[in-house]
Structure 1
């Protein structure tokens, strides 16, 4: 990957009107739990933006007393998600979309040789986040084996008032496997778009897709968390931007519930350009928090009604052996505002996550870029 100094990624904050939004709200008062690979103190992320957090990493066999710090990160995935939300833009880092928010790092074994344990650890981490004040929970990874535990943990967090975002995955050019966590009712499944506002080719898609955000070239931590580089951010980065967007809206309307925040984000999203209400590539559309904060659009509605509950029940995308040819990406069109260089950041090969490949018996470790 080229160094950040060699390549400038697209500026997605300007078309989002971030500077104008920050005059209304910058995420202050909102805690976003990043359940991921941890957080390493690096140039570009101020220490005051990151809470102590917790590590739920399992100790190695024979060393049950081993402790891990949440403020460490072997591969940089969690650090990148943190910077996408609250980074200060210095030292090669991205400028965060919700710079006033607080990040609660919840460190799992993602990005380590023990990544197979991350699903169960993540379930524990989700519960911790909900019990310790996280309004928003960011899940930029997926796991197949521990889905039942993860689903129960997510539902527990929702009962505590948390809003959960889950990356769809980066299998769009492969078998299109999608993140099972996006199937849980109330979870916002996030796809990715490119600089032109079109669905990012690598972005997984299906009925689980609810919203989309920029996931193309962005500033991410290089392999092994050695510095800032420029590479595709994928649905991981897009999910971080969706979480940051929710933090902005919730900061401006602290009396709203998770359902109300989700509802206005769905109502104000840049819908598919072909006139349909939603499609499997960008869901209800590209997330646009400025429509809520600057244009004052969106109706929060009932505080305890899931805005996605009226939609058809989510079902997994068909397996590789069952699915028909996907519709052309062009027909799945993206943002409703032509000309805006929506280039949502996709995160480059950094998180080891265990995903099931359709109905086959082969399981491989995947990293959400």
Structure 2
């Protein structure tokens, strides 16, 4: 008899259920475990103005696409990825740069233009890390200037030419991060800046820095109608070295511990209103992208009217802070009534008064001129006579005075001569013979 196989011991059903539950619970537990947080990007973290000026909040509405910013400076470098796809055109107005304006110029700080451009509209890395500009989707124009004596074209003419070229090539924002340290400007700038204003362009200008010897704002920051930017530190206090003061200041922006991409792609730390200005230029681009229907005058009004009051300001506008600290989010989202004129001044009126006003005329006569009768003709001699024969007048006023003076002179001369002879004779008689 074939023995029956030993009974097979089966797993109890409750154990199978429990094992299934454990396996089912294990899956969601593993999925719910948070992945390690990526390390913060130190470059992005250092851009304190992105959060401080509420730029990140403005990015929820726009990043500046469709707006062109002209950077009139030392030229934007070709190498850095921050400018890949950003620079859409350029030129050189100095006579020593490349035709596209992309060759950095200047023996001292040729990277200046690249740093300015990176603050205004630099692109981040492909993975989103690295430095990012205020308007990272705006376009850039690179117009290279030659500072100092190296340029073959006078500086004033360079700036005037650059302004017109920028307007003609589509710029809606122009950034000027330089100063002349003088209140006045070359007359050629009158028409150049007026050309920009008449073509609906916002011109943003740096106020200058005390650290470089500028105590008061200088041209072009003194030109009526430009948006002049002063500098503050991380606390919102006017910078002692990286800013200046003046009644033409419109708003303030960070100017200390800024970042900028050099022409070789290196991210550097720098200070100055040269960096504060492109931060504001980028914000202007955000406003223009969000509200393409607004005129340049309206955009300027949006910027100054939404600026946050500075705690240290003593006036409104203040000579150190202007209307206050620039606020990108408020400028983009505010709904303000339209203005009929540039709130920062009318350049055309200034030109009319100071350049082309007619010269003042002198006082006009209030009475008729007095008529003076003509003199009677001179009378001729009563009796004809010869000019060789002396007349009574010639004897009285000529001959007699001459005789009166001559005769005594002759007598005196003879007397002196006779006296001299007697003296010599007397001396000769007293001299003994040898």
TM-score interval, normalised by the smaller of the two chains: 0.7 to 0.9
Q: Matches of residues 1-369 of structure 1 in structure 2 within 5 Å?
A: 9-59=46-96, 68-74=99-105, 75-90=110-125, 94-110=131-147, 113-114=150-151, 117-143=154-180, 147-171=186-210, 174-202=213-241, 203-221=243-261, 225-273=263-311, 276-293=315-332, 296-302=333-339, 304-309=340-345
1:107 CA displacement = 1.2
- The SS at the match of 2:88 is coil
In structure 1, how many angstroms separate the alpha carbons of the residues matched to 2:229 and 2:165?
23
Number of aligned residue pairs: give it: 298
Q: Is the 8 A contact 2:80 2:261 kept in 1?
A: no
TM-score (normalizing by structure 1) = 0.73
Q: Is the 8 A contact 1:7 1:230 kept in 2?
A: no
Matching residue of 2:416:
none
Deviations along 1:272-322, one digit per CA (max 9) or x if unpaired, are 3356322111111111120133xx3251422x4111249xx99xxxxxxxx
Whether contact under 8 Å (1:166, 1:187) holds in the other structure is yes
Alpha-carbon separation, structure 2, partners of 1:84 and 1:175:
23
Please say which of residues 118-127 and 67-76 is displaced more in the overlay: 67-76
* 8 Å CA contact 1:166, 1:179 repeated in 2: no
Work out the CA distance in 2 between the residues paired with 1:169 and 1:283.
14
Judge conservation of contact 1:27–1:248 (CA < 8 Å) in 2.
yes
Post-superposition offset of 1:179: 2.3
Deviation at 1:57, TM superposition (A): 1.8
Does the CA-based 8 Å contact 2:86-2:123 persist in structure 1? no
Q: CA RMSD, aligned part only?
A: 2.9
- Structure 1: where are the runs of 5+ without partners? 60-65, 315-369
Matches of 1:269 and 1:7 in 2, distance apart? Answer: 24
Give the number of the structure whose alpha-carbon radius of gyration is greater.
Answer: 2
- Please state whether the residue corresponding to 1:283 is helix, strand or coil: coil
The structure carrying a bigger helix percent of its residues is 2
Give the number of the structure with larger relative contact order, counting CA–CA contacts within 8 Å between residues 6 or more apart.
1
In structure 2, relative to structure 1, the CA distance for the partners of 1:246 and 1:228 (3 Å cut) is: same
- Cα deviation, residue 10, structure 1: 4.8
d(CA) in 1 for partners of 2:143 and 2:199?
17
Instruction: Find the aligned partners of 1:167 and 1:121 in 2 and give their Cα distance.
Output: 18
Residues 129-159 of structure 1: per-residue CA shift (max 9 Å, x gap): 1122111110001235963222331111111
How far is the alpha carbon of 1:123 from its aligned partner? 1.1
Where does the alignment leave 5 or more consecutive residues of structure 2 unmatched? 1-40, 351-434
- Distance change >3 Å, CA 305–CA 111, structure 1 → 2: same
